[in-house]
Amino acid sequence: MKKNAVSTITVGLIQMACSPKPEQNLKQAIESIRAASEKGAQIICLPELFLTPYFCQTEDTQNFALAETLSGPTSETLSKLAQELEVVLIVPLFEKRAPGIYHNTALVIDADGSIAGCYRKMHIPDDPCFFEKYYFTPGDTGFKSFPTRYGRVGVLICWDQWFPEAARLTTLSGAQFLFYPTAIGYQDEDTNVSQQQISAWETIQKSHAISNGIFLGSVNRVGRENALNFWGRSFICNPFGNTIGQAENEPQIVIAQCHLPEIETVRQNWPFLRDRRVDAYQGLTKLYLDDDE
Amino acid sequence: MKKNAVSTITVGLIQMACSPKPEQNLKQAIESIRAASEKGAQIICLPELFLTPYFCQTEDTQNFALAETLSGPTSETLSKLAQELEVVLIVPLFEKRAPGIYHNTALVIDADGSIAGCYRKMHIPDDPCFFEKYYFTPGDTGFKSFPTRYGRVGVLICWDQWFPEAARLTTLSGAQFLFYPTAIGYQDEDTNVSQQQISAWETIQKSHAISNGIFLGSVNRVGRENALNFWGRSFICNPFGNTIGQAENEPQIVIAQCHLPEIETVRQNWPFLRDRRVDAYQGLTKLYLDDDE
């Protein structure tokens, strides 16, 4: 039985390719979770919408059939697995909340199999090949974190990663870990452009770890699906933004040990949270400040 | 006479070592501004507190004698220079506002020599060797940008660079350029630690360029002053976070051309500003969200 290690927590990221068959993806996820657990992982995160291909490349009502309710078969199966292995799982789902209301969601399942929390993707992209505004109602959960056996876990999803507001609010809610289940790839075969995109993607997320003093794991899928080449490169970084585990662009489990006291050490040494000018941040709740001219 | 080039603006950063003598530093700054202008620079930025050594390593009332008023000799001299060379200047000053109220300030001088605006450092650090809370009253300007002949210029100063809120608000005010006059160095002679600090410093600032789609220039000083080794590495990056000019750790002028239409191109391709959840950001005006439990 796994002890609740108070100071060092092992995190596992499941970077996987997603086949057209949900049952096959679930099987692959379960096998990978077992493998990660055997390697000592205590908190394990799956990629965004891991059960399906990235269906948002087209707008098609038939894809809504891929959605399931939060208390559906996937969460039931993975709750049992979490309980058996005594691991915390972050489980992204295409959530059917009500007829006509679907979300891009992630469940946090605690190590006893109970649901620790649910996050619904707040920032929804819409670009060619990423037609998410068609499928997903923007979330109404706000930015939260959830206490689990192995620490306080915050989850944001993919496009959220470009918004420092989301990382900040999740941190201020007390998160020690911030996970980004992701499905990001390039269409452009220009290696220079795709390398710049990958670099920007790593930079923005590491910046959240740095400015907030938090452990951060980003979990991408891999493989080509129609027009998109998902670039993998899943990584874990410490509260100083240093990479402590990273995958290449093939199916891979990333494991890293997170020494939790680093959070406070980093925040004491570079005390950004001490000095926020909350008296001067009201404008952040506006889209643009053209009225202030 | 310099034309107002509407689409491409040349930026110059003056990375310099600062001697104990203010008059010598001003002379050096003037020579460097002339040199940058000869290389085509239209907007030129000096480092934080460039007139003096970084006096905040100790707390000493005698250092307040280094402060001057905004309409003092330095701004007069540099306003004339800006007018002569038809350049926009960002001029950091230790501002004496009133007896007992001193700020860490930057003036933006327009290309006709007029004052385009003034920013007072909002986030004030206080760490061993950076005792700024002793000297500087936190700014009351808020986060702004100022129209100039060569574009809309926002200025933040050093410690501000760790706060994504500051970069966001400056962007939302309409800035096309974001400058960070800076005085940052390491005390630790452990190369590994100092390299991590430099890396975090570059990452956080590039992340602001990326998340906001803005040109960004960061201007540091160089050289050892008492316990601090100022690491230079001044750089300019484009709205995608790519470095388009960078110095090493010696006195150097960094010149880069900024093609302004890139701002809109980048923001159209990765449209983060479109999707901010301003309905859910109220918590950003709080220090911590422990009351929301």
Q: pLDDT for A167-186, tens place per residue?
A: 999 999 999 999 999 999 99
Place of tokens 């700020």: B103
Best B159, B276, B288 residue to mutate vs chain A (most A CBs within 10 Å): B276
Contact A200 B124 (CB under 8 A): no
Average pLDDT of span A201-206: 98
* pLDDT at res. B1: 41
User: Collapsing DSSP states into helix, strand and coil, what is residue B136?
Assistant: coil
| Average pLDDT along chain A | 96
The tokens describing A4, both together, are 């609740």
Q: A32: buried, middle or exposed (CB in 10 Å: 19+, 13-18, 0-12)?
A: buried
Q: What angle in degrees, to the nearest 10, is found between the helix axes of B73-85 and B22-38?
A: 10
For residue A49, pLDDT over 70 is answered with yes
What domains appear along chain B, each with residue ranges and CATH number?
8-285 (3.60.110.10)
Could you give the residue numbers annotated as active site of A? 48, 121, 158
* Tokens at A193, concatenated: 């452009």
Q: What is the pLDDT of residue B292?
A: 59
Confidence of residue B211 (pLDDT cuts 50, 70, 90): very high
In DSSP notation, A145-194 reads EEEETTEEEEE--GGGGG-HHHHHHHHHTT-SEEEEE---EE----HHHH
Phi, psi (deg, nearest 5) at residue A203: -60, -45
Span B118-134, average pLDDT: 97
Task: Specify whether the CB–CB gap between A213 and A263 falls below 8 A.
Answer: yes
CB-CB under 8 Å, A199 with B241: yes
Q: What is the ipTM of this complex?
A: 0.96
CA distance B42 to B47: 17
A206·B203 Cβ contact <8 A: yes
* pTM for this prediction: 0.97
Q: Is the pLDDT of residue A189 over 90?
A: no
Choose the closest CB to A172 out of B125, B169, B286: B286
pLDDT of residue B189: 75
| CB-CB contact of A280 with A289 (8 Å) | no
Residues in contact with B268: Cβ distance below 8 Å, sequence separation at least 6, in sequence order: none
- Cβ contact B286–A278 (<8 Å): yes
**Of chain B residues 254-283, which have a CB less than 8 A from chain A?**
269-273, 275-283
DSSP secondary structure, B45-98, as one string: EPPTTTTS--GGGS--GGGGGG-B-TTSHHHHHHHHHHHHHT-EEEEEEEEEEE
Asked if the C-beta of B136 comes within 8 angstroms of chain A's C-beta atoms, the answer is: no
Cβ–Cβ pairs < 8 A, chains A and B: 165
Q: Per the CB < 8 Å rule, is B174 touching A290?
A: yes
CB-based contact B162 A211, cutoff 8 Å = yes
Token pair 């709750």 is found at A79
Active site (catalytic) residues of B: 48, 121, 158
pLDDT at B188: 74
Chain B residues touching A163 at Cβ < 8 A? 211, 272, 275-277
**Residue B249 CB contacts under 8 Å (≥ 6 apart), including other chains:** B222, B231, B232, B233
The answer to whether residue A291 scores a pLDDT higher than 80 is no
CB-CB: which of A166, A203, A285 is closest to B241?
A203
pLDDT of B10-65, one tens digit each? 999 999 999 999 999 999 999 999 999 999 999 999 999 999 999 999 999 999 99
| Residue A4 predicted with pLDDT over 80 | no
Burial category of A89 from C-beta neighbours within 10 Å (exposed 0-12, middle 13-18, buried 19 and up): buried
- Of the pLDDT bands very low, low, confident and very high (cuts 50, 70, 90), residue B153 is very high
pLDDT confidence tier of residue A1, bands split at 50, 70 and 90: very low
pLDDT score recorded for residue A292: 59
> Tell me: the pLDDT tens digits for A225-236?
999 999 999 999
For residues B236 and B216, give the distance between their C-alpha atoms in angstroms, rounded to a whole number.
6
- Asked if the model's pLDDT at residue B291 lies above 80, the reply is no
